[in-house]
Amino acid sequence: MSKRKPLRIGMIGYGFMGRAHSNAYNRVNNFFDLEYEPVLQAVCARDEAKAKAFADTWGYASVETDWRKLIERKDIDAVDICVPNNLHHDMAIAAAKAGKMILCEKPLSMNTAEGQEMVDAVEKAGVRNTVWYNYRRVPAVSLAKQLIDEGRLGRIFHYRANFLQDWTISADLPQGGAGLWRIDAKAAGSGVTGDLLAHCIDTALWLNGPIKTVTAMTETFIKERKHTESGKVEPVGIDDACAFLCRFANGSLAIFESTRYARGHKALYTFEINGADASIAWDLHDLHRLSYFDHRDDSIVRGWRSVHVTDGDMPYMDRWWVPGLQIGYEHSFVHQVADFLDGLGKNKPTSPTFREALETQKVCDAVLASAKSGRWVDVG
Ligand SMILES: NC(=O)c1ccc[n+]([C@@H]2O[C@H](COP(=O)([O-])OP(=O)(O)OC[C@H]3O[C@@H](n4cnc5c(N)ncnc54)[C@H](O)[C@@H]3O)[C@@H](O)[C@H]2O)c1
């Protein structure tokens, strides 16, 4: 019998993230020594038979088909929101009012105004909250943060990030409905800006501090698509591609690009940061490595090194295998759950909180406003 205290999870949505989070809840106590333990109390989805099948596969004790009922249940401590972006706001506010802790998928909200209401709700209710910007917890990205905080890069001049995909190039792809809600502005809020650049922005704010001002361009390459729900051809309201320049508060300049039209790229998230003394670079396709260049090295051995982030003194790695053996994508979610449970035990917030994730929302809104106006926009 476990001596750990239970944290009873009610998860809403059982798609991609539902699986990633369930895996993390199931694994976390095998690898991390924590006071708390997630208990998979209930999963909620509209289709009961599918929800039951999911519950059986992942070990949930019960199912609900109405998210409001799940949130009202007395035997749920924490609500995990794994549904399309347009549902985050109402679910999070209802969960806060019911006194539940909340783990919400990114982006926090459809826009800053909604996000602000969510921040107000969790802070008024005094409930623990976090947003699943999981890339922060890829050990190589956490190591990048450590190197920057140690001052190894010196003054930072440049930040550049990309998030490139190619899955929406076909004009025959419909918008809306299961799997395709990302192309429907009513469900997604925006296109690559809120979906992909939100990740890049969250990482950038964490590593390099606040963004002051942005100038952006967006494009919707395919202007109309059949809507899965209405069956009619409807205008496409999302940005298919977005590129923006920005200035950080620390004086550095940055360039960000995201698209779902970069043929050959499936999920190419990369960033590079150039400082006076050193540079770092990271690539999601090779996520267990961090590239590092240090100008202070002797010139005859100076060059980019590829650090294999597997040693026990590197972030999170003492919990896994032995040096030289790497971990992958799913572990970033295990780390986020571990940090959430650790924060619960120590009564410390788990970053990014809703308030911290709201900063990403503000940058996304400024980017979209700039693309519309063609002008530089200050981050509000
Ligand atoms: N952190 C990450 O890297 C990451 C990756 C992918 C998605 N996401 C975010 O996670 C969220 C979900 O994305 P996904 O890829 O898992 O989507 P998905 O389409 O795979 O799953 C969405 C789930 O929501 C359910 N759902 C929709 N409406 C519902 C309702 N009214 N009540 C209950 N369930 C409902 C669907 O049945 C489905 O199970 C989005 O906000 C997305 O931006 C984050």
pLDDT value at position 356? 98
Q: Which of 58, 66, 83, 337 to mutate to test the pocket of ligand 1 (most atoms within 8 A of CB)?
A: 83
Q: Is 18 in the pocket of ligand 1 (CB under 6 A)?
A: yes
Strand duo 305-308 + 62-64: pairing: unpaired
Q: Which of 12, 90, 105 to mutate to test the pocket of ligand 1 (most atoms within 8 A of CB)?
A: 105
For residue range 149-181, what is the model confidence (pLDDT) as tens digits?
999 999 999 999 999 999 999 999 999 998 899
Quote the mean pLDDT of the chain: 98
For residue range 299-330, what is the model confidence (pLDDT) as tens digits?
999 999 999 999 999 999 999 999 999 999 99
Peptide bond before residue 6 is cis, with ω within 30 degrees of 0: no
Q: Is 63 in the pocket of ligand 1 (CB under 6 A)?
A: no
For residue range 3-27, what is the model confidence (pLDDT) as tens digits?
999 999 999 999 999 999 999 999 9
Nearest-atom number in ligand 1 for the CA of 134 is 1
Query: Average pLDDT in the 44-72 region?
Result: 98
pLDDT value at position 51? 97
Instruction: For residue 280, report the distance from its CA to the centre of ligand 1, in Å.
Output: 32
Residue 2 above 90 pLDDT?
no
Domains of the chain: 5-134 (3.40.50.720), 136-378 (3.30.360.10)
Contact 109, 359 (CB under 8 A): no
Q: Which of 11, 16, 89 to mutate to test the pocket of ligand 1 (most atoms within 8 A of CB)?
A: 16
For residue range 80-91, what is the model confidence (pLDDT) as tens digits?
999 999 999 999
pLDDT value at position 253? 98
For residue range 342-370, what is the model confidence (pLDDT) as tens digits?
999 999 999 999 999 999 999 999 999 99
Distance CA 28, CA 32 (A): 6
| pTM beyond 0.85, yes or no | yes
Q: Is 16 in the pocket of ligand 1 (CB under 6 A)?
A: yes
Q: Is 13 in the pocket of ligand 1 (CB under 6 A)?
A: yes
For residue range 238-295, what is the model confidence (pLDDT) as tens digits?
999 999 999 999 999 999 999 999 999 999 999 999 999 999 999 999 999 999 999 9
Residue 189 above 70 pLDDT?
yes
Instruction: For residue 15, report the distance from its CA to the centre of ligand 1, in Å.
Output: 6
CA quadruple 93, 96, 100, 105: dihedral, nearest 10: 50
Q: Is 46 in the pocket of ligand 1 (CB under 6 A)?
A: yes
Residue 213 above 90 pLDDT?
yes
Residue 124: strand, helix, or coil: helix
Tell me the β-bridge partners of 84.
none
Residue 1 above 80 pLDDT?
no
Residue written as token pair 């998030």: 163
Strands (E), 231-304: 233-235, 241-248, 253-259, 268-275, 278-283, 289-294
